[in-house]
Amino acid sequence: MDEVDYCRDPSDVRVIPGAAHALTEMRAAGWLAILITNQSGIGRGRITLSEYEAVHAEFARQLENQLDAVFFCPDLPSMASTRRKPEPGMIFEAMQQFAIDQSRSWMIGDKVADVQCGINADLRTILVRTGYGSTYEGPKPDFVAETVVDALSIIVSQDRRIAPTVQNFA
C-alpha cells in the first residue's frame, strides 16, 4: 500500500498495482498471506479502532481478499510490548495459530522495524523500496525488491531454488 501517515480514511488506500494478482498466485501455490502491522495511531488516539477497521476493509477489498489473517498491535512505541514490531510476538502468534513452518517463512516490509522483526523471528527478510523503504537505513535484509510484487516473486523463485531476478544481498 502507498504510505499514508496514520491512514484513517479508506479513500486514501492505494494498493500497489499487481499485488492482488501476485497474492492470488502465491496462495494458489499453497502459501499463506498474513499481515503483521503496528497501529500505534490507535494507541495515540490519532485514529479510532473503527477507522482502522474501515481502512483495513478497503485494503482487503483492493487486495481481492487475498489475506489469510491480520495481526495488529495498537501499542505505543514507548510501551514494553512483545507484540509491537520489531519484537516478533505477532509472528509467533501467527505461526502457532496456522501451524506455519518457520524455516519456509518470510517477512516483507519497508521499515527498519519490519526487517528487524523478521530477523528477530529467524525469518528470511525482504525490504521493499516503496513507502519508507526508499530511504531505508537499517539491518541488512536478505533481499531488496522494488515493490511487494517483486518481493513475492523472490519468495516463489527461492522456494523453487531458482535465482531471483532482483538484487540479492544475502
Q: What's the mean pLDDT in 7-16?
A: 88
| Burial of 96 (C-beta count, 10 Å sphere; 0-12/13-18/19+) | exposed
d(CA 153, CA 106) in angstroms, rounded, equals 12
**What is the C-alpha radius of gyration for the chain, rounded to an integer number of angstroms?**
15
pLDDT digits (tens, 9 = 90+) for 77-133: 999 999 999 999 999 999 999 999 999 899 999 999 999 999 999 999 999 998 888
- The CATH number that domain 10-159 falls under is 3.40.50.1000
Looking at residue 4, its pLDDT comes to 55
pLDDT of residue 28: 87
- Scan for cell 529467524, then name that residue: 122
Q: Which of 19-28, 40-49, 160-169 has the lowest mean pLDDT?
A: 160-169
Q: Which pLDDT does position 1 carry in this prediction?
A: 45
Domain residue extents for the chain? 10-159
Q: What percent of the chain has pLDDT over 70?
A: 91
Asked if 65 and 30 count as a contact pair (C-beta separation under 8 A), the reply is: no
pLDDT tens track for 133-155: 889 899 999 999 999 999 999 99
3-state secondary structure of 127: strand
Question: Model's pTM, two decimal places?
Answer: 0.87
Mean pLDDT of 51-57: 95
Asked if residue 22 has pLDDT above 80, the reply is yes
Q: How much is the pLDDT for 98?
A: 94
Cα 169 from chain centroid (whole Å) = 19
Per-residue pLDDT, 163: 38
What confidence score (pLDDT) does residue 160 get?
Answer: 59
| pLDDT tier at 170, thresholds 50, 70, 90 | very low
